[in-house]
Amino acid sequence: MKKYKKQNALACVGTAIGVGLIAGLAGTIAMTLCQIAEMKVTGRKPSNTPANAVREVFDVEPVTESKSEEVSNEVHFTYGTSLGMIRGLIGLAGLKGMIANTIHFIIIWGGKIFMLPSLRVAAPITHEDAKSITTDIVHHVVYVTTAGCVYDAIMGNKNNDADVREVKESNKIKGKKRKNNY
């Protein structure tokens, strides 16, 4: 029985992480489309911050400027997709909807505003103008909202309901002799 529960717990963690990755990819696509639309409206150029972060962490230099853009896109998608795992773990804790999305936002945007300046690839938030901060927040809200909706839609009521049912069933059976059917 314990081995079965351990396997079930591992399956739940694996499912949460896998669905989180799918949600993270969807969030990254939505964020990217939002950024592309914003850049067309504002005339802003694409950011090289992801490539600069890779350059700083791994101490490498891009071969060409176009390669730097390519690396930035690859890092953006990889990083955004992997951040979906955080949403999966939040869902595994039984949280969903707006509460889960808010926690996800605080973790990823809060992490970003500390991590990038520490890598010396972005200015501290205290040196940014209100328009840049607002734009960045909007992009990240698009990401967490999309990722959260996708995660919750895929998982449905599976986030914590199965565990609650199992505990209730276990409490009903306590004191009674149980048949082992598996």
Average pLDDT, whole number, for the chain?
Answer: 87
Neighbours of 27 (CB within 10 A): 28
Judged against a pLDDT cut of 60, whether residue 113 lies above it is answered with yes
> Which residues are within 8 A (CB) of 19 and not within 5 positions of it... i.e. 6 or more apart?
88, 91, 151, 154, 155
Give percent of the chain with pLDDT exceeding 70. Answer: 82
Between residues 169 and 115, which one has the greater pLDDT? 115
Q: Token pair for residue 163? A: 């565990």
Portion of the chain with pLDDT greater than 90, in percent? 66
pLDDT reading at 157 higher than 70:
yes
CB 48, CB 69: distance < 8 Å: yes
Lowest mean pLDDT among 78-87, 118-127, 155-164: 155-164
Mean pLDDT, residues 94-104 taken together: 97
If one compares 61 and 142, the residue with the highest pLDDT of the two is 142
Q: What does the block give as tokens for 121?
A: 């690839």
Residues 16 and 91 sit within 8 Å (Cβ to Cβ):
yes
| Cα torsion through 55, 61, 67, 70, rounded to 10 | -10
How is the chain split into domains, by residue range?
32-162
> What's the pLDDT score for residue 182?
45
Q: How confident is the model at residue 167 (pLDDT cuts 50, 70, 90)?
A: very low
Residue 164 has pLDDT above 50, yes or no: no
pLDDT tens for each residue of 30-83: 999 999 999 999 999 998 899 889 888 988 887 787 888 899 999 999 999 999
Q: What DSSP state is assigned to residue 93?
A: T
What number is the average pLDDT over the span 144-173? 72
Q: Is the pLDDT of residue 158 over 70?
A: no
Contacts of residue 29, Cβ cutoff 8 Å, sequence gap at least 6: 146
Distance CA 118, CA 91 (A): 29
